[in-house]
Structure 1
Amino acid sequence: MKPGLLLYSVFLWLFLQPLATLARGSGAFMQAITIKGTVKGSDGAPIPGVTIQVKGTSTGTVTQPDGTYSINVPDANATLQFSYIGYTQQEIALAGRTTVDVVMTSSASELEQVVVVGYGTRRKRDVTGAVGSVRGEEIAKQPVNTATQGVQGKLAGVQIISSGQPGSQPQVRVRGTGSMLAGAEPLYVVDGILTNDIRNINTADIVSMDVLKDASSAAIYGVRGANGVIIITTKRGQAGKMEVSYNMTAGWRQAANLVEMANTQQYTAFLADAGPQVTIPDFGADTDWYGDVLRKGFQQTHNISLSGGSEKFLYYFNVGYLTDQGIVRNNQYDRFTIRSNNEWNIVEDKLKFVTQLSYMHNETDFVQLDDIYTNTYRAAPVIPIKRDGRYGNTSAFQNVGNPILTLDKTNDEIYENRLQGTTYLEYSPWKWLRLRSSIGVNQGFQNRRKYNDKYLNDEVTFLVAGGNQQRPESQLTIVKEQGTEWLWENTATYQQRFDKHDLTVLAGYTAQKYAGDYIEGSRRNVPNSTDLWYLIAGDPNTSTNTSDGDKYARTSILARVNYSYDDKYLLSASFRNDASSRFPSDNRNGYFPAVGLGWVISQEDFMQNQKLFNFLKLRGSWGRIGNDNIASNLYILTANSGLLYFFNGTATLGTNLSDIKDRNLKWETTQEYDFGLEFSMMDSRLTGEVNYYNKETIDALVTVRIPGLLGDPDNEYTTNAGSFVNKGWEFTLGWKDKISDDFNYTIGGNLTLNDNKVTGLNQGQPLFRGGVGQQGNITKTDNGQPIGSFFVLDAEGVFQNQAEIDNYLNKDGGKIQPNAAPGDLRYRDANGDGLINSDDRVYAGSYQPKLYYGINLGANYKSFDFSVDFYGNAGNKIYNGKKAFRYEITDNIEASYADKRWTSARPSTTDPRVLLGSTPASDYFIESGNFFRMNNITLGYSLPKAVLERIKFERLRIYLTSQNLFTIKKFTGFSPELVSGATKRDGFLSLQNSTSPLDAGIELYPYPTTKTFAIGLNVTF
């Protein structure tokens, strides 16, 4: 049997086997004894979400919104355990009772909650590193496609930049930019599967998202944890009767902010000032190109889940569907997901078998924004979009294509399938020892079919005189890509508590391998019929093809010790040895140690009589992590054969090495110190956390330029030649209170201060990036500056008259800008040489914010719930690249510039009279990136218990929600959040827009951030 068929057979069996087991074991559910009751707090208010477990078994359930519960137990003399975040756990023996009501008392604080820390869990109060956590219901209530977007603004130290493009993955930065070239995205761990792409995860399936922010907590993942680790835990079944849930949202999206372009009158006035005279065609048009390219897009999600089980078998099954039209014409994203999480207790408290499997299929009508948005921005308003069935010929008047014609004549479809899952066997020969062996698989297939229909200038456009927007031949391009990644992990965990000592020791071995390939082919003159969109239908004389692939492997040895004495003194130490095939054999192994210490001050005797703190902990940590997220062949020399050279006057075919590689390439390493203070006050109503971190990246991978005479066609190679640091503070504060039995509320906020700075480019060569058309590279990364700093001329203002130009002189009395005219920008002679050129460029900020923050509010009144979240950042800059990148004088301009620009009748000290293709890069195009946004607002209503009982439902909630309702900003572009750049493959079938840290913060052709209005429904029965 072929490996692919074997893999599919295993997955199919694992999906269907739980249903067979459920059918066989259905009779066991009916034999259990049903226990009912209500769980309340000391104030008499019901507590929803309390976990109720039958002691010594895996049988359990949770309380409903009204505090009630129902659980099937195998024995009338069993003991129930009641636990909930912020409350003291209780054990109650049934002693034959069938009704058990419980009153829970408040514990120290929410710091008692359990968080996932990698290969295990810890109480938050026992963690010595920096870990943030968000519950799944907080993510699921927002109308987002990808889980990380729902976490925006909720965690200190975690910056999330989202795009409105359907199917895209938000950009995440944990404690600043962690790499220049080796990938700055965090590692995602989904039920033990390591991945860099979570677009296949349905937000309705998530229980929690835990973020390991510091090196101490993330070091257990070694090679993959340098940029932080995001651990996603998905739902499992609870013992008891089958529970069926249905969740849906439906609404529409639209651009949160549009850039208004000049109308015909403003545009004509601009051309009159720009000169030389341009003959403007008169079609009586006043076209709003963005108005036709963009639209309102319908969005909906539907999820149906089944969960339940018995002592022997627990199951959770979910089917989800999402469709998002997108706000760009012809753009659409559809996703179908299946998840099946199951647990078999083969031998009670000894041996269990777990499967956690998911499948995703998505279809994308893709729109390549670089051409579309560039032409939409540049197209003149005097040209109609379409008239009498024929397209307006913008190319006859400008060197601009009609974007509507491009959209209508292009069909670009992407189909993707993902299988992802892990299965493990866990054996506990004794209560203090747990052995686990797991196999995880992440397999993806992607097919792309792009058809460019033919059209001729005189056949399609009504302006037939000239123009170059034509496609005399159709073209079909087929792309197929596949990748398979497997991870085998074996761990042993020893856990024992004796007297005042609590000790947990973990040891393990992991092996991982990825293999993928990519093939692309195209042909011209393929017929315009979807039934014939195959390469064989095209002209074989026009055939082109290319192929690529990647393969790498890692092996790791890991160990960790967690120890606490008397719940007061905490120690965590870990070590990991990683070997990666992406480095030469001599540098293949990386060693990553970490240690953390904690002191729970509130447990000391001298704190027992004080009334201020309920909980107070001081902690500190140090750790070192590696990063190997680079191309697999950077150290491998490649040879070109079949090259002609002459030897003794005879032409001979030979081979040469045409590029230069660093054969001593080694790990990029991040070293971090972290100090934190956690507290709970005022009867645990006020909680907070303060962190300081110092994260230094050494041996950073950068490109170094070399003389062209050495023969490398790129004149550069990659090597370990840099270092930089991120230092910062994180503040988190939360307040919760109950006013009455009917009303309670929460207030939370977080603030992060981060300072990024390059501390050493060992080869002494700054890195220039961020190309903006004719202006060239506009960012420079060098010592003492943030990564990707803008490096441009300093525009001091606008010349108001000829006298100012004549008086702007150098030391020799010559004019510094002799070719300037009144209304032109005046540039500062930064180096004092009396000339304005590239030597006068200065640093003018970067896209990295100096601070970012989130504010979260929530309230419950009787059956109503309300929540609102805000998010923002400050201290960063954005380069308005689309405004700066002008091809020719006839390009359109923004309406705001048209109204403010200098004219003799309306002088301006800030905006020049004209912007031309020759306008150099300067801080005139740099704008503030500060913004404050209402991220989400939701109002919900749940049917009362009495009504639910009559209709036989456990829960029914309806709600209204809006995402990105408003944004307060200074930036004049589409959005201060930029996830833009060239579409690329990032190593695992992740087609999305992405940007290198070296050229971030340049708005050229972004997908606008969207605002959403939706209605939702949650039903459980």
Structure 2
Amino acid sequence: MKRKILLLVMCLLTVHLSFAQNTISVQGRVTDASTGQPLIGAGVVVQGTSTGTQTDANGNYTISAPADGTLAVSYLGYRNAQVPVDNRSTINIQLETDTETLQEVVVTGYGVQEKRDVTGSIASVKSEELVRQASQNPVSSLQGKVAGVNITNTGQPGASPQIRIRGTGSALGSADPLYVVDGTFVNDLSFLNPADIESIEILKDASSAAIYGVRAANGVVLVTTKRGKSGEATVNYNGFVGVQRVTNQLEMTNASEYATAVNEKNGSELLSTNLPSTDWYDQILRTAMIHNHQVTASGGSEKVTYSASAGYLNQEGIIKGNEYERITARLQTDIQISENIKVGYNGIFYNYNSDDIPGDIFYQAYVAPPVIPVFKANGRYGDPVDFPIGNFANPQASLDWFYQKSNGQRLTSNAFGEVKFLNGFTFRSSLGLNYGIDEYTNYRSRDSLTTVQFATRSLLTQRRSKSNMWLWENTLTYDKSFGNHEITALLGTSAQEDKSNYFTGSVNDVEFNSEANLYLDLGDPETYNIDAGGARGTFVSYFGRVNYSFLDRYLLTATLRYDASSNYPRGDRWEYFPSIGLGWRVIEEGFMQNQTIFDNLKLRASWGRLGNNNIPANLYRSTVSTDPRLGAIRNGVLYPGWNINTVPPATLFWEVVEEVDLGVEMGFLNNRLTVEADWYNRKTDDAIFGVTPLGFLGLGGQIRGNYATFRNRGLEFIANWSDEISTDVSYNIGFNFSRNRNEVTGVAIENAAFFNGNLPVGGYQVSITRVGDPIGSFYGYEVEGIFQNEQEVEGSAQPNASPGDFRYRDLDGNQVIDERDKTIIGNPNPGFIYGINTGFRFKGFDLQLDIQGVADVDIYNGNRNVRYGNENYDKDFFDNRWTGPGTSNSYPSADLTGRNLDPNDFYVEKGDYIRIRNLQLGYNLPTSLVKSLKMQNLRVYINAQNPVTWFDYNGFSPEVGGAPVSQGIDRNVYPLSATYNFGVNATF
């Protein structure tokens, strides 16, 4: 018996040694058969096993395989290849383009579709474009890359950019798009590391977005994160370190110039022109550090695949003391339980900590007189009481005194199960969760810094808010081909609940020895102030979509969604949202086969209706408030009175967007040149709008309801050229351009208008929304010159003016300047947005240059317009101000008081700009060196983001966002900075 066992062991050992001897290391390169261009990320697998790898940035691979085995090679858009090893250690493989399969796949919402079969307007940005931008927010990486999408950035760490897709379609509701991350609805993408993203699709027209119904009126941003692939495990590190520097710093007057202007304004020598000078911007700004690191591990077998990542970002703000820290972690797993059953999970965790700054610190630095020193000789803070100029905060004291720390956590996850049955049916059920907690602690110490900045008692304020959303969706898909017919039909249901609550408390007299002492119960109980609240919203939806193709050239997409939302009254909660898209692949017609001009020609047309659920809360409920004037005294006791302060509309409907889109897609010169163009007409019906009630009703504010109609109409154009000159040299150039015109086309009540854009001085409202003009247009007086002397003032429509004041245009000719002379003086809605994106490759080197710009847009310079007394002046104003007859007929005198502060077109400036958005030079180290380091690939790069911006606006930044009815008003925004990085991307 022992002999038999020994013989068996020897036989097994011999077989094992024989197998080991026949296993060899194979390396080579996978390229395009027609161009010789390396195929990055091509899958190379030993046929019949789970052993596999992917090609690196140069198309190279290395794999262990049996000498008599076969390599199975695959790449999206190419025919699969099976290559015998035949005992070869070097095998170079060329793949043929497969014109019969998809060339590009785009996510369409509840499914994917071949780009050539899409009938709507969908833009897709892949991961390789996102990771070549050193952006902390994925939305920032899209700026200038997608036609019809306007993105407004802010330089504040952790803040989310503002995005508008094909203009602004709502006045009082939200104009933000719907964000969908792996099937889960979220409010923004600040929790996502761009390195985790596989692709971002933007659904721009009603046909493509209608599958999301009531949530899709402002467009949809679909984010697909990276998933694991079968094969050997790989580990990737992507990180950079760099600095951020202020660009286009606004120049203010120095002490001598300021004293000159103040003396002119007051008509006396208030200040000496020989005082020391403080540059408050230099004092509070700094060169800030930033570093970001991401590690990703992925791999798996034929049954189980996974992708896990962890990221860390530390970003200092350009304001001293401002710092933001973010930790992200992601885990994704797919399990193929059987041939027909698949389950999976994707979870993203996000944690942030922030050292905050005063919200008005840029305003303080703008207005603070330069004659005030940072510190006095005795070490105390410089104080305005030492000068006869009024009360101003010392910005450095504000930064030193301010204590606020914010933090939060978020978990966004989605689990799904998928079953395939019969012939072509797939049932999928998914459950999404978005859970978040946000907190902040603010402490103001008992102190006396200056005569303006002091507190006799300390004050501790704490806030905690929590949000919880679950989303359960079920879909049934049927996918089948019948000869010349291809059909994909989808039916689905969706149920969602959003809940949120907050708690805010404050108390005096907490002693701050350390952060551990900051508890509300340690203060004076007599000063407790507590506020709490919450909200809940529910949604139910049924939807369906049919994609049909005949002869691979005639295309149809039909969608219908039936939505209900608790944001609307019970009788008006349900609405239908249909759409239809048609496509004609003209290139497939017989009469096109012998022509040599077009390589691709497709015509598209679509129509659809969308809804906007993001309207102001509780519009259909009456609210009440107290007012001392309504109180009553009985027997010497005051009884407070209450009054209804809003009147709900008799009915409340959905804000509905109806859109028509016409498009064409073309390819020339072997598809090296591709062109795409769209025309759209986007109309918002039943838009929420405010109407001022009659005074005798005793109501403040406005009655809001479905009272307006808006329209956005525009053109989009995209052209891309890419060419492979040789195996060592290639390049690509892309250009996109968009034109949009926004207009209020109707209001239910004749001549009704909605005023907004309040400025803190005098309660001026500088924005108006009315029929015939864009949403949030700037509204004020036209300046026709400057009064040069008393003779010009006499007999004018402004008898109380002084020489050096604005002379307003008397539009109605009644010799009185009043509200009837106000008119539209500017438009904050961009007319044109464009981007130029280029890439060049020479052997291991690559260069990327992205340019982005905005034109035909106005900014209201609220910085100049907000004055209480002797605020500082910007240098441009000082150099061009009126100082006597004939010195200026466009800039007023230094006496910016009284009617000189009325909203007028002097404060409206052009917001056009051109920016180098990204400039990056990279180098892929030679394969031989990389292999010696036990790596698959290693790339290093240097990057400059926003290094140069050309604009004429007298402010820090021409990027000024805001709510739809008050956008484009600059009240000292946090400016964008230039970032210079060195980065490494390595795969092991």
TM-score, normalised by the number of residues in structure 2:
0.93
Q: State how far apart, in whole Å, the 1-side matches of 2:328 and 2:506 are.
A: 31
1:450 has 2:432 as partner: no
Q: 2:212 is matched with which residue?
A: 221
Contact conserved, 1:745 with 1:859, CA < 8 A, in 2? yes
Contact conserved, 1:790 with 1:844, CA < 8 A, in 2? yes
1:645-687 Cα distance to aligned partner (Å, 9 max, x none): 7999999999875532125211000000000000111011001
- Uncovered stretches (5+) of structure 2, i.e. residues with no partner: 1-21
Deviation at 1:628, TM superposition (A): 1.1
Matches within 5 A, 1:900-915: 900-904=880-884, 907-915=887-895
Q: RMSD of aligned C-alpha atoms?
A: 2.8
Q: 1:661 is matched with which residue?
A: 648
Q: 1:356 is matched with which residue?
A: 346
1:922 has 2:904 as partner: yes
> For 1:383, which of 355, 372, 376 is the aligned residue?
372
> For 2:773, which of 769, 782, 785 is the aligned residue?
785
- Uncovered stretches (5+) of structure 1, i.e. residues with no partner: 1-30, 462-466, 807-813, 980-994
Q: State how far apart, in whole Å, the 2-side matches of 1:539 and 1:557 are.
A: 54
Helix, strand or coil at the partner of 2:337: strand
Contact conserved, 1:139 with 1:203, CA < 8 A, in 2? yes
Contact conserved, 1:699 with 1:722, CA < 8 A, in 2? yes
Q: State how far apart, in whole Å, the 2-side matches of 1:914 and 1:283 are.
A: 19
Q: 2:975 is matched with which residue?
A: 1008
The residue type paired with residue 92 of structure 1 is: Q
Q: State how far apart, in whole Å, the 1-side matches of 2:423 and 2:313 are.
A: 44
Q: 1:609 is matched with which residue?
A: 594
Distance change in 2, residues 1:1019/1:113 (3 Å): same
Count of equivalent residues = 957
> For 1:173, which of 154, 164, 181 is the aligned residue?
164
1:46 has 2:38 as partner: yes
Contact conserved, 2:259 with 2:272, CA < 8 A, in 1? no
> For 1:139, which of 121, 124, 130 is the aligned residue?
130
Q: 2:830 is matched with which residue?
A: 849
Q: State how far apart, in whole Å, the 2-side matches of 1:740 and 1:591 are.
A: 54
Q: State how far apart, in whole Å, the 2-side matches of 1:440 and 1:146 are.
A: 22
1:464-518 Cα distance to aligned partner (Å, 9 max, x none): xxx3332111111000100100000000110011211110000000100011101
Matches within 5 A, 1:91-130: 91-92=81-82, 101-106=92-97, 112-130=103-121
Contact conserved, 2:234 with 2:298, CA < 8 A, in 1? yes
Deviation at 1:107, TM superposition (A): 5.8
1:262 has 2:284 as partner: no
Q: State how far apart, in whole Å, the 2-side matches of 1:892 and 1:671 are.
A: 49
Contact conserved, 1:758 with 1:784, CA < 8 A, in 2? yes
Q: 1:681 is matched with which residue?
A: 668
Contact conserved, 1:677 with 1:689, CA < 8 A, in 2? yes
Q: 2:13 is matched with which residue?
A: none
Contact conserved, 2:198 with 2:224, CA < 8 A, in 1? yes
Q: Which of 626-635 and 496-505 deviates more?
A: 626-635
Contact conserved, 2:256 with 2:273, CA < 8 A, in 1? no
Deviation at 1:895, TM superposition (A): 1.1
Deviation at 1:972, TM superposition (A): 1.1
Deviation at 1:752, TM superposition (A): 0.1
Distance change in 2, residues 1:394/1:373 (3 Å): farther
1:756-811 Cα distance to aligned partner (Å, 9 max, x none): 000001123101111123350011111110001111110112233444445xxxxx
The residue type paired with residue 657 of structure 2 is: T
1:872 has 2:853 as partner: yes
Contact conserved, 2:44 with 2:71, CA < 8 A, in 1? no
Q: 1:810 is matched with which residue?
A: none
Distance change in 2, residues 1:199/1:773 (3 Å): same
> For 1:518, which of 498, 502, 517 is the aligned residue?
502
1:698-740 Cα distance to aligned partner (Å, 9 max, x none): 000112221243243x332320000110000000000001122
Deviation at 1:79, TM superposition (A): 8.4
1:470 has 2:454 as partner: yes
Distance change in 2, residues 1:533/1:561 (3 Å): same
Contact conserved, 1:263 with 1:287, CA < 8 A, in 2? yes
1:289 has 2:280 as partner: yes
Contact conserved, 2:255 with 2:273, CA < 8 A, in 1? no
Contact conserved, 1:816 with 1:836, CA < 8 A, in 2? yes
> For 1:931, which of 901, 905, 913 is the aligned residue?
913
Q: State how far apart, in whole Å, the 1-side matches of 2:95 and 2:258 are.
A: 70
Q: Which of 145-154 and 624-633 deviates more?
A: 624-633
Contact conserved, 1:824 with 1:914, CA < 8 A, in 2? no
Q: Which of 642-651 and 728-737 deviates more?
A: 642-651
Contact conserved, 1:439 with 1:486, CA < 8 A, in 2? yes
Helix, strand or coil at the partner of 2:447: coil
Matches within 5 A, 1:53-64: 62-64=54-56
Contact conserved, 1:618 with 1:677, CA < 8 A, in 2? yes
Helix, strand or coil at the partner of 2:259: helix
The residue type paired with residue 80 of structure 2 is: Q
The residue type paired with residue 114 of structure 1 is: V
1:728 has 2:714 as partner: yes
Q: Which of 555-564 and 247-256 deviates more?
A: 247-256
Contact conserved, 1:109 with 1:687, CA < 8 A, in 2? no
Q: State how far apart, in whole Å, the 2-side matches of 1:612 and 1:358 are.
A: 48
Q: Which of 283-292 and 180-189 deviates more?
A: 283-292
Q: 1:427 is matched with which residue?
A: 419
Deviation at 1:881, TM superposition (A): 0.5
Matches within 5 A, 1:153-552: 153-277=144-268, 279-280=270-271, 284-348=275-339, 350-370=340-360, 372-387=361-376, 388-394=378-384, 397-430=389-422, 432-456=424-448, 460-461=449-450, 467-529=451-513, 530-552=515-537
Q: State how far apart, in whole Å, the 1-side matches of 2:915 and 2:640 are.
A: 64
1:8-45 Cα distance to aligned partner (Å, 9 max, x none): xxxxxxxxxxxxxxxxxxxxxxx999976532122334
1:217-268 Cα distance to aligned partner (Å, 9 max, x none): 0000011111000101101111111111111111111222211111111111
The residue type paired with residue 136 of structure 2 is: N
Contact conserved, 1:249 with 1:302, CA < 8 A, in 2? yes
Deviation at 1:531, TM superposition (A): 2.3
Q: State how far apart, in whole Å, the 2-side matches of 1:556 and 1:37 are.
A: 52
Q: 1:838 is matched with which residue?
A: 819
The residue type paired with residue 380 of structure 1 is: P
Q: 1:983 is matched with which residue?
A: none
1:629 has 2:614 as partner: yes
Deviation at 1:58, TM superposition (A): 9.8
Distance change in 2, residues 1:369/1:275 (3 Å): same
Q: State how far apart, in whole Å, the 1-side matches of 2:309 and 2:479 are.
A: 34
Q: State how far apart, in whole Å, the 2-side matches of 1:123 and 1:52 are.
A: 24
Contact conserved, 1:507 with 1:559, CA < 8 A, in 2? yes
Distance change in 2, residues 1:58/1:486 (3 Å): farther
Q: Which of 628-637 and 743-752 deviates more?
A: 628-637
Q: State how far apart, in whole Å, the 1-side matches of 2:487 and 2:777 are.
A: 47
Q: State how far apart, in whole Å, the 2-side matches of 1:1006 and 1:423 are.
A: 40
Q: State how far apart, in whole Å, the 2-side matches of 1:893 and 1:402 are.
A: 16
Helix, strand or coil at the partner of 2:906: helix
Q: 1:894 is matched with which residue?
A: 874
Distance change in 2, residues 1:130/1:78 (3 Å): farther
Q: 2:15 is matched with which residue?
A: none
Contact conserved, 1:59 with 1:238, CA < 8 A, in 2? no
1:719 has 2:710 as partner: no
> For 2:760, which of 765, 773, 776 is the aligned residue?
773
1:999 has 2:966 as partner: yes
Q: State how far apart, in whole Å, the 1-side matches of 2:47 and 2:692 are.
A: 66
Q: State how far apart, in whole Å, the 2-side matches of 1:657 and 1:1001 are.
A: 33
Deviation at 1:88, TM superposition (A): 3.8
The residue type paired with residue 399 of structure 2 is: L
> For 2:546, which of 561, 564, 568 is the aligned residue?
561
The residue type paired with residue 921 of structure 1 is: P
Contact conserved, 1:516 with 1:550, CA < 8 A, in 2? yes
Distance change in 2, residues 1:652/1:779 (3 Å): closer
The residue type paired with residue 851 of structure 2 is: F
The residue type paired with residue 312 of structure 1 is: K
